[in-house]
Structure 1
Amino acid sequence: MVNGSAVPLVDRLHTASTDLARTVERHLSDITGVSSSVNGFAAVDPDIALQRAQFLDAVPVDRRGRLHGLVLPVKDLMPVSGLPCSYGSVTRTEIPVDTDPWAAQLLREGVVIPGKTQTSEMGMTAYCEPVGMPAVANPLWPGRTPGGSSGGAAAAVALGLVDVAHASDGGGSIRVPAASTGTVGVKPPHDSTGGSPTTQGFITRSVADAAFVFGVRPVHRRLRVGVLVEPLHGDGSVSPEMVSTVFSVADRLSDLGHRVREVSRPYGERPFAAFADVLASRSIHIPGPASDIIEWLRERGAALPEARRAEAVADFDAVPGTILSAWDIDVLLTPTLAHDPPEIGHFSRLEPPEDFAEQTRWTPWATLFNMTGGAAVNVPVAVAGRPPVGVHLGSVRATFGELLGVASQVHP
């Protein structure tokens, strides 16, 4: 398992581009050399990947894209022409004719897409147990969930099968699996107005790799860092390992010149109630037979009066202003998870209302930045005698580059 590299991604790409077909063959051999429950892939197509490599090899050097030759799987929620898209359930499998515009932009920049990585059904849970397919194994914690919904992407990167994997995040779905697998997960800034929690991002092996693939230069300056270890959402508790790791990171940042202080919860229960109702309202549009948790969300959403749906969006959209008024800080530092990943099946064995509540207890901070739209990142921190602990940095006033700058001081 490889969770980092001293060689910058741009240099690794330059080396790989001298014989791209062989590089892609090596990636494919690594991916197909382990079972689908381990490698995190929902589908792999060697023919498409090798044809793509041959095409890219023929592109003149002066016309190559910025990410030329990067082997980068796409999460199985995003259509890519010719590759099966199952949306986390075998009952939903289709072969798309068209490629999603976001993935199409990656192709224009020169990536090779070898296949699709596993997700929970419709990306709706913080664990990764796709319907009718094997639950994804956690390379860091055998027998435990790798987190979700981008669990397949996180597993593939944690195993070193790829350097970068596409992921998406509507409530922590990039950062939660990154924390569960000892990888770096970045949710970029996005426009969250109108109750829009979801954006696209990446899971990588280092902050430097994330900065490169996003095309953002880390900026280093003194920042005001707020520290919060109390859960923002849910009624759970936080393990001592998570708390002590956050405070050790806070001390490190203080030593580096950042102004660090503890902050308090900025609001009560209303904002997360709004997030939950927005999520349920959006679930109404999910078609066809579904897993129990999605069926419960659809029914809950359908039962909401129109006035409550509008109120929930208004409460959701009010969160950025609330945060700016409450916290005179640039970055918020918290744990990413309240405790270590539980065993596979822990959540899905519960009745849907308790399943949802238990996921919230496990991931009580990440959702804030889906409501504010601020950039946020999970970085793994080495802890003696156990796997690394994920800490979470979220932008309150810092730019994306400034956030990646401080994140790189925690994890290169």
Structure 2
Amino acid sequence: MTASLNSTEYKTPDDPKQRATKELPSMPHEIHEADATELAAKVRDGEVSPRELVEAAISRIEETDPTLNFMVHRRFEEALTEAGGALPDGPFRGVPTVLKDLGQSLMAGQPNYAGSAVIRDLGVIADHDGNVTRRLLDAGFIILGRTNVPEFGPTVTTEPVAFGPTLNPWDTSRSPGGSSGGAAVAVASGSVPLAHGGDAGGSIRIPASMTGLVGLKASRGRMSMGPDQGEEPAGFAVEGAITRTVRDTAAIIDVLAGCEPGDPYTAPTPARPFTDEVGVPPGRLRIGVAASLKDFETDPECSLAATQAGALLSELGHDVDAAAPAAMQAQRSELMPHFFGTLSALFAANIMGLEAAIGRPLDIDRFEPLTRDHIEQGRRMTAAETVHSRLVLNRFTRTMAEWWSKDGWDLLLTPMMPVPPFPLGYLDFDPDDRERSHDRIYTATQYSVPFNVTGQPAISLPLHWSADGLPIGVQLVAAYGREDLLIRVAAQLEQAAPWTHRRPPTSAGSGR
């Protein structure tokens, strides 16, 4: 079985790497402006039916996807049937959403391409649901299909050869980020109110930043990675969602959180549901601001976003100072090689498992250059080198944790990205200049990767727009297990500097 939108069907009116902003259809119905919490309430109150929501979402996808290219598989007929039938009486009964085509989002009877032509052409169909999918279905969500990702997700742009690039609705010459780029565009385009994503190096937070949305990477172990994984890779990855509002972010964590039999670890149990933290005064907090890092360059616009967010937090009564964990300043030499080396080892291991499953070796020359580079590097790594990288990363985690536990800081504020939304092609991998290519990815993830390593919760908030109208997010990081504190402060900022009225350009002119 192949995707509904494959490489031969992908179309865009012109070269997507040209600088241009294409107008999108207007959003005539209020449901395209609502968050998932509001839509669920409308269903409960009988103001709208699940089928009406699904029909509206499908219509919007059919309007916007030919330009933005965020869907790789559609299950519209099944979704319409489900919308007209008996649905679980969960908190999001009847609300449409989409799954990221990567991570622990298997859905029985559906393909999972992982952004790869090789996987697509194998025609593999899942025979069970992942824990994430099951929890979304139990909550009453109706799944419309799967969203575009880079092949196997090793980069933070969404430009797979198999399905074509996903375009940023704020400027279609630019990337929406990755690897949850398709998910972010599904939300930013008004097609669904929230979308499943995963984050192993910034893959929820970075697309949220680049498309003007909210993205939380939860604490390690907050969501189960089962039944097919325990930790992947080395506990870097977590599941979650990209949303428009803080209350939706809190609610989706409540839906997805929880330990399952066989999980290697679980995050501390919260004192109460995360939805109950929205609107709770956070108290007077001690917040450090790192508007740039010594090891890397940060665009002045992105530093300004963090500086202005720090000023706003000060106005809200918090103690804000320029400060950051010292370990963050030495990433290029001490952290990144071990993080990406561990990622390479995972790639090689996954190919080994896939070859065992299909009973024959794969031709790795069919994979994209970046994927192939990771596979080859992973195959060269020894077991001792892999374990050594894990030990280095564990030491980094303990050193970082002391900034919160011993030095007495409550939150760290940083830019989410070191550059504004970048053009398509900016992170293209050149096998003949692999060092420079990898360095660009290192640089793009300087503010995100450290907290995949440490397992701390971190949230990207759309608090800044550039002079030319591009969204630029900021990141707040809490101590391990303290999503509650992030949600309280994020809700406080959302109230002080609202962002949900900001929408990508449309033919109706709804604005930046």
* 1:97-246 pair list within 5 angstroms: 97-191=127-221, 195-215=234-254, 216-217=274-275, 218=277, 219=280, 220-231=282-293, 235-246=295-306
1:390 maps onto 2:468 in alignment: no
CA contact (8 A) 2:32 2:191 kept: no
Q: 1:384 to 1:168 in 2, by over 3 A?
A: closer
**Structure 1 stretch displaced more, 173-182 or 5-14:** 5-14
Cα offset for 1:122?
A: 1.0
The match for 1:13 among 36, 40, 46 is 40
Change (3 A) 1:142 1:8: closer
Q: Which moved more, 1:350-359 or 1:65-74?
A: 350-359
* Greater CA drift, 369-378 or 15-24: 15-24
Residue 228 of structure 2 corresponds to none
**Equivalent pair of 1:330/1:397 in contact (CA under 8 Å):** no
The reply on whether 1:276 has 2:340 as its aligned counterpart is: yes
Name the CA distance, whole Å, in 2 between partners of 1:110 and 1:188. Answer: 22
Residue 237 of structure 1 aligns to which amino acid in structure 2? Answer: E
Tell me how far apart the structure 2 counterparts of residues 349 and 194 of structure 1 sit (CA, whole Å).
22
Q: Which runs of 5+ in 1 are unaligned?
A: none
- 2:290 maps to a residue whose letter is L
How far apart, in 2, do the equivalents of 1:86 and 1:221 lie? Answer: 45
2:52 aligned partner? 22
The 2-side partners of 1:5 and 1:318 are apart by 46
Which of 251, 257, 279 is matched with 2:311 structurally?
A: 251
Q: Of residues 474, 487, 494 in structure 2, which corresponds to 1:404?
A: 487
TM-score w.r.t. the length of structure 2 is 0.74
**Separation in 2 of the partners of 1:183 and 1:109?**
22
CA separation of 1:157 and 1:236: change in aligned 2, threshold 3 A: same
For the residue of structure 1 that corresponds to 2:475, the secondary structure is strand
Q: Cα–Cα, structure 1 residues 103 and 36, in superposed 2: closer, same or farther, change >3 Å?
A: farther
The CA deviation at 1:396 is 2.5
Q: Is the 8 A contact 1:67 1:213 kept in 2?
A: no
Kindly report which structure 2 residues correspond to 1:244-393, keeping only aligned pairs within 5 A, or say none.
Answer: 244-267=304-327, 268=330, 269-287=333-351, 288=362, 289=364, 290-327=367-404, 328=407, 329-351=409-431, 352-383=434-465, 385=467, 386-393=469-476
Cα deviations by residue, 1:246-287 (Å, 9 ceiling, x for unpaired): 111101111112121111452233233321221111111232
Asked whether the equivalents of residues 72 and 114 of structure 1 are also in contact (C-alpha less than 8 Å), the reply is yes
- Cα distance in 2 between the residues matched to 1:39 and 1:21: 24
Secondary structure at the aligned position of 1:200 is classed as strand
Relative to 1, partners in 2 of residues 1:320 and 1:141: Cα closer, same or farther, differing over 3 Å? same
Q: State the Cα deviation string for residues 41-62 of structure 1 (Å, max 9, x = none).
A: 111111111121122xx35xxx
After superposition, the Cα gap between the structure-2 partners of 1:275 and 1:44, relative to the gap in structure 1 and judged at 3 Å, is: same
* Partner SS, residue 470 of structure 2: strand
2:74 aligns to what? Answer: 44
Give distance in 2, aligned partners of 1:108 and 1:193.
24
Taking a change above 3 Å as real, the CA distance of residues 363 and 29 of structure 1, as seen in their structure-2 partners, is same
Classify the secondary structure of the residue corresponding to 2:349.
coil
Query: Letter of the aligned partner of 1:75 in structure 2?
Result: K
Distance between the aligned counterparts of 2:51 and 2:381, measured in 1? Answer: 53
Moved more, 372-381 or 320-329: 320-329
CA distance in 2, matches of 1:106, 1:283: 27
1:126-172: CA deviation from partner (whole Å, max 9, x where unpaired): 11012321200011122111110000001111111111000000000
Aligned counterparts of 2:233 and 2:108: Cα–Cα separation in 1: 30
From the superposition, tell whether residues 15 and 100 of structure 1 become closer, same or farther in structure 2 (CA, over 3 Å): same
Q: Tell me which residue corresponds to 2:225.
A: none
Separation of aligned partners in 1, 2:214 and 2:306: 16
The answer to whether the Cα contact below 8 Å between 2:68 and 2:172 also exists between their aligned partners in 1 is no
The structure-2 alpha-carbon separation of the partners of 1:193 and 1:69, relative to structure 1 and needing over 3 Å to count, comes to closer
Moved more, 337-346 or 350-359: 350-359
The residue type equivalent to 1:353 in the other structure is: E
C-alpha distance 167-227 of structure 1, shift in aligned 2 (>3 A): same
RMSD: 2.3
The answer to whether the Cα contact below 8 Å between 2:199 and 2:239 also exists between their aligned partners in 1 is yes
Q: 1:82 aligns with which of 109, 117, 122?
A: 109
What SS does the corresponding residue of 2:477 show, helix, strand or coil?
strand
d(CA) in 1 for partners of 2:93 and 2:184? 22
Quote the offset at 1:369 in angstroms: 1.1
Alignment CA distance shift 1:52-1:238 (3 Å): same
Whole-angstrom CA distance in 1 between matches of 2:163 and 2:253: 31
The answer as to whether partners of 2:43 and 2:93 remain within 8 angstroms in 1 is no
| Partner of residue 64 from structure 1, selected from 67, 89, 103 | 89
Is the partner of 2:240 in helix, strand or coil?
strand
TM-score of the pair, normalised by structure 1 = 0.92
Q: Which amino acid letter does the alignment assign opposite residue 73 of structure 1?
A: V
Cα deviation, 1:305-362, whole Å, max 9, x if unaligned, reads 2222111111112223101224521211000110112211121153343222101112
Partners of 2:75 and 2:176 in 1: how far apart? 24
